[in-house]
Amino acid sequence: MYDKKVIRRRRAALAVLVGLSLVLLTAYFGESPAGVLHGVQRGAQQVLSPVESGASKALKPFRDLFNWVGDAFSAKGDNKKLKKELAQARSQLAAAETAVRENEQLRAMVGLPRRAGFPQGTSPVTARVIARSPTDWYSSVQIDKGKSDGVRADEPVITGEGLVGKVTSASSGTAEVTLITDGSSAVSAQIMPDGSSGILRPAVGDPNDLQLDFLQKGRKLAKGQVVVTSGFRAGRLESLFPRGIPIGTVRSVSPNEVETYQRVHVQPYADFRRMDYVQVLTARAPGTQQASVGLGP
């Protein structure tokens, strides 16, 4: 019984408050701006304004801290997302650049055999370079083609720019290629159109300096003249490298230690550091015996 009385009293009080609120609102909106209720409102605002301003200033550091924490978490998430997108972009760029470089090398290898003077009678086997010599001497590479693909030892190896070496050993599915920058190499070469011939070897201690030695003095040689494999055939003996494979250009000419000869420094066409694909010139003419001296002049 007591609970019901309390509830009735509270309801009555609430009804009175609602009624008073309606009366005040009606009076407030019905009176002029200079009325009593408007004056009370302005006075309350003037009294509470400093309190509101002080509370706002007091709470500002807390609001700033809350906003900073939110921004920090948001920035951290954005940073992680941007790093991931950047890594993906870099990966895609690297893949695109690699594809472009490989495409250029393959296109060059298609065009090289069409050049005037390039030796015919071979069946090029295109292979990918899968390993390189572990030193800075660029002396050898391993390719992903071998005996099962028709690759045999002592066959010339080229890129789209020119001669790079020869096959020195072959297994079923891979082969080892010794480059012309290796210290044991020796290639008989000829300067065109002069016709001067000599033996091309890398300089001792500097594989980037290919030297063509044993050229007779008195020949007028100029920078930029083309150097190709000279090749030779004597009966059943034949050079490892057929005549006409481009090697490089004359970079400079200097006297040799022997007074009757001069030395030519050759700039190779091939970039031995950036070879991704090579071609092995297989299927030489049957019934010939190949002579081998180092890399085989």
Examine the domain organization and report whether 41 and 177 are in the same domain: no
Mean pLDDT of 188-193: 90
Check residue 127 and give its pLDDT. 92
Cβ density class 163-202: b for 16+ within 10 Å, e for less = bbbbbbebeeebbbbbbbbbeebbbbbbbbeeebbbbbbb
Which residues of 144-292 form beta strands (DSSP E)? 156-158, 163-170, 175-179, 187-192, 197-203, 206-216, 226-229, 233-234, 237-239, 246-255, 261-268, 277-282, 289-291
Domain match, 191 and 249 both? yes
Does 70 share its domain with 156? no
Q: Specify the pLDDT at position 73.
A: 66
Q: Based on the fold, state whether residues 60 and 110 are members of the same structural domain.
A: yes
Contact 213, 201 (CB under 8 A): yes
Q: Which residue has the higher pLDDT, 50 or 244?
A: 244
Is the pLDDT confidence value at 157 over 90? yes
Alpha-carbon distances of 208 from 138, 214, 251, rounded to whole Å: 9, 19, 12
Q: Kindly state whether residues 93 and 129 are assigned to the same domain.
A: no
- Residue that wins the pLDDT comparison between 215 and 167: 167
100 lies in some domain = yes
Considering the domain architecture, whether residues 134 and 277 belong to the same structural domain is answered as: yes
- Number of domains observed in the structure of the chain: 2
To the nearest whole number, what is the mean pLDDT of the chain? Answer: 76
Q: Residue 245: give the domain boundaries.
A: 123-291
Q: Note the pLDDT tens digit of each residue in 74-127.
A: 776 777 777 777 777 777 766 766 667 667 766 777 767 667 667 777 888 999
Looking at the structure, tell me whether residues 149 and 285 fall in a common domain.
Answer: yes
Are 189 and 227 in contact by the 8 Å Cβ rule? The answer is yes
Share of the chain above pLDDT 70, in %: 63
- Examine residue 19 and state whether it is found in any structural domain, yes or no: no
Distance CA 165, CA 209 (A): 15
Task: Look at residues 94, 114, 134 and tell me which one is the last residue of a structural domain.
Answer: 114
Residue 265 included in any domain: yes
pLDDT of residue 292: 41
Mean pLDDT of 32-41: 63
Q: What is the pLDDT of residue 101?
A: 67
Distance CA 102, CA 35 (A): 89
**Residues 274 and 147 placed together within one structural domain of the fold:** yes
